[in-house]
């Protein structure tokens, strides 16, 4: 495997890998959504959905889209329309098992933060599942007490927020373009 793992927007050829990674990450938790629902989420905001490429294929992905704060999307339903919101909801961040513990999730998150700042979002939200609250806390997210995570999440899910800096953003790093 090459040492270079560029981050780029999702392309049609990536969906087999994305669906496989999503299933591996969430099926055991009973939270797998499947390809059709995942694609509906990516269509809401293609400029904030990315893959991490390794050896010519998607080896990690991130889905984020505008969503009202203090709410989370229903895992069982396709996303129909984008919400006008200054909150960007980080729905999924998954890295293939072979690339974990190498800082790849941090790279994807950093790319999202730069993109969100550039696009004028004020904050990021997410729902921590599978005991991942500690991971997200160390990356600037704080639990939002009182927000109910319904719509297919388990009782251990935690809604979290992270403010984005209020300064003039720089454009995100140049994305790798596929041939």
List the chain domain ranges.
7-163
Structure confidence at residue 101 as a pLDDT band (50, 70, 90): confident
Give the span between the Cα atoms of 126 and 105, in whole angstroms. Answer: 14
Which pLDDT does position 168 carry in this prediction? 52
CATH of domain 7-163: 3.40.630.30
What percentage of the chain has pLDDT greater than the value 70?
Answer: 90
Q: What are phi and psi of 65, to 5 degrees?
A: -155, 155
Does residue 129 register a pLDDT over 60? yes
| Structure-model confidence comparison of residues 80 and 141, the more confident one | 141
Ramachandran quadrant class, 151 (left: phi over 0; alpha: psi -120 to 50; beta: rest): left
47 backbone dihedrals φ, ψ, rounded to 5° = -75, -5
Across the range 57-83, mean pLDDT stands at 91
pTM recorded for the entire structure = 0.88
Q: Residue 39: enclosing H or E segment and its boundaries?
A: helix 35-44
Tell me the pLDDT of the chain averaged across its residues: 88
Distances (CA, A) of 147 to 31, 69, 125, 170: 19, 10, 11, 32
Query: With bands split at pLDDT 50, 70 and 90, how would you rate the model's confidence at 1?
Result: very low
The answer to whether residue 94 scores a pLDDT higher than 90 is yes
Distance CA 175, CA 155 (A): 37
What is the model's pLDDT at position 176?
Answer: 47
H or E element in which residue 135 lies: helix 133-137
The stretch 169-177 carries a mean pLDDT of 53
pLDDT of residue 48: 97
Nearest CA among 36, 32, 15 for reference residue 23: 32
Q: Which residue has the tokens 């490429």?
A: 53
Give the pLDDT score at 173. Answer: 56
């Amino acid at each position: 495997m090459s040492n270079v793992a560029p981050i780029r927007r999702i392309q049609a050829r990536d969906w087999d890998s994305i669906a496989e990674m999503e299933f591996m990450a969430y099926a055991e938790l009973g939270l797998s959504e499947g390809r059709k629902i995942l694609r509906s989420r990516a269509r809401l905001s293609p400029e904030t959905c990315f893959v991490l490429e390794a050896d010519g294929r998607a080896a990690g992905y991130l889905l984020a889209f505008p969503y009202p704060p203090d709410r989370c999307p229903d895992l069982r339903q396709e996303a129909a329309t984008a919400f006008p919101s200054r909150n960007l909801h980080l729905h999924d961040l998954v890295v293939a098992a072979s690339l974990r513990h190498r800082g790849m999730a941090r790279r994807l998150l950093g790319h999202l933060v730069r993109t969100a700042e550039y696009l004028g979002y004020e904050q990021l939200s997410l729902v921590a599942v599978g005991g991942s609250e500690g991971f997200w806390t160390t990356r600037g997210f704080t639990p939002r007490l009182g927000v109910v995570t319904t719509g297919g999440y388990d009782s251990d899910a935690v809604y979290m927020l992270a403010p984005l800096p209020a300064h003039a953003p720089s454009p995100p790093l140049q994305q790798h373009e596929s041939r």
